[in-house]
């Protein structure tokens, strides 16, 4: 595997993202629109520490939906979008193999996901500071520890897990679909499953050996249980091991598709 080629492909795709006005608007407009909601949530948490875990847990349960919609646009743009525009054939003539091409695009989507996570984290911190100022609460470390270490670890866990799994799934869908429209039609059921996962605890679905194997649901349930009590370190290991397995399987499928011209050029 030539890591230099992967970095060039990844950099090329990231550069194209930076020139896409729709992507830039999604990166900036969404956090700005929801910042008042963040401020209100943190203000409640600062005034009532008992509800802080519930509020922050609810926030993290909503984040995957945002990442899925944004990363879906990026992943489909460089797979189904290229096929739709007729530029995929040109892309395949690059200096890299088709395996390196898929992995380079995957790295670009993962990097874009992490950049989005950093932007959202910045707005979360701004919202926390704004809530403290609006509430006339002294901005001290105790105010931040109210949301605390558990919130930070949960955010890092959610971002890392979804940055590994979602791009691989979406790359596979994007290479299978004929067009962007078809690719987004497959995205709908996945988003519906993600939404259902956020309300699964209301129906008595908790963390178990079976739910730990369900992608998306396992991460949300693990984060929720971690907020309420504690989680065995084996559960964390199972979460990321299964995530890596799912991502590897999807990438293998994407590589298989891109190597088959009959599937790649579906009409």
Residue-range definition of the domain harbouring residue 65: 3-264
Per-residue confidence of the chain (267 residues) as pLDDT tens digits? 667 777 877 887 777 776 666 666 666 666 677 777 777 777 777 776 666 666 666 666 666 666 666 777 778 888 888 887 777 777 777 677 888 888 888 988 888 888 877 877 787 777 777 777 776 655 554 555 555 667 777 778 888 888 888 889 888 988 888 888 888 888 878 777 777 777 777 777 777 888 888 887 888 788 777 776 777 788 888 888 999 999 999 999 988 888 876 555 555
| Cα gap 75→69, rounded to integer Å | 10
Q: Residue 69: count other Cβ atoms within 10 Å of its Cβ.
A: 15
| Cα gap 169→251, rounded to integer Å | 8
How many helices (DSSP H) and strands (DSSP E) are in the chain? Answer: 11, 0
Crossing angle of helices 233-259 and 141-176, rounded to 10°:
30
| Block residue for tokens 């909503």 | 62
| Cα gap 88→73, rounded to integer Å | 17
| Cα gap 260→59, rounded to integer Å | 41
What pTM was estimated for this model as a whole? 0.81
- Could you give the number of structural domains in the chain? 1
pLDDT in tens, 62-74: 666 666 667 777 7
| Cα gap 168→128, rounded to integer Å | 33
């Amino acid at each position: 595997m030539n890591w230099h080629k992967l970095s060039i492909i990844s950099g090329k795709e990231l550069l194209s993202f930076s020139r896409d006005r729709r992507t830039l608007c999604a990166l900036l407009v969404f956090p700005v629109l929801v910042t008042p909601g963040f401020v209100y949530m943190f203000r409640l948490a600062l005034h009532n520490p008992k509800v802080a875990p519930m509020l922050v847990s609810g926030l993290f349960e909503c984040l995957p939906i945002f990442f899925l919609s944004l990363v879906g646009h990026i992943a489909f743009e460089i797979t189904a979008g290229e096929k739709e525009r007729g530029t995929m054939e040109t892309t395949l003539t690059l200096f890299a193999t088709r395996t390196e091409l898929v992995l380079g695009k995957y790295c670009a989507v993962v990097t874009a996901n992490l950049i989005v996570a950093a932007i959202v984290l910045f707005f979360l911190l701004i919202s926390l500071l704004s809530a403290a100022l609006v509430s006339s609460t002294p901005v001290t470390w105790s105010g931040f520890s109210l949301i605390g270490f558990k919130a930070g670890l949960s955010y890092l866990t959610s971002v890392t897990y979804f940055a590994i799994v979602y791009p691989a799934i979406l790359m596979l869908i994007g290479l299978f679909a004929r067009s962007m429209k078809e690719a987004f039609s497959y995205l709908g059921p996945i988003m519906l499953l993600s939404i259902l996962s956020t309300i699964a605890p209301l129906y008595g679905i908790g963390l178990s050996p079976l739910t730990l194997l369900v992608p998306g649901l396992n991460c949300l349930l693990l984060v929720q249980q971690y907020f309420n009590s504690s989680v065995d370190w084996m559960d964390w290991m199972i979460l990321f091991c299964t995530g890596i397995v799912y991502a590897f399987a999807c990438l293998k499928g994407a590589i298989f598709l891109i190597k088959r011209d009959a599937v790649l050029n579906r009409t």
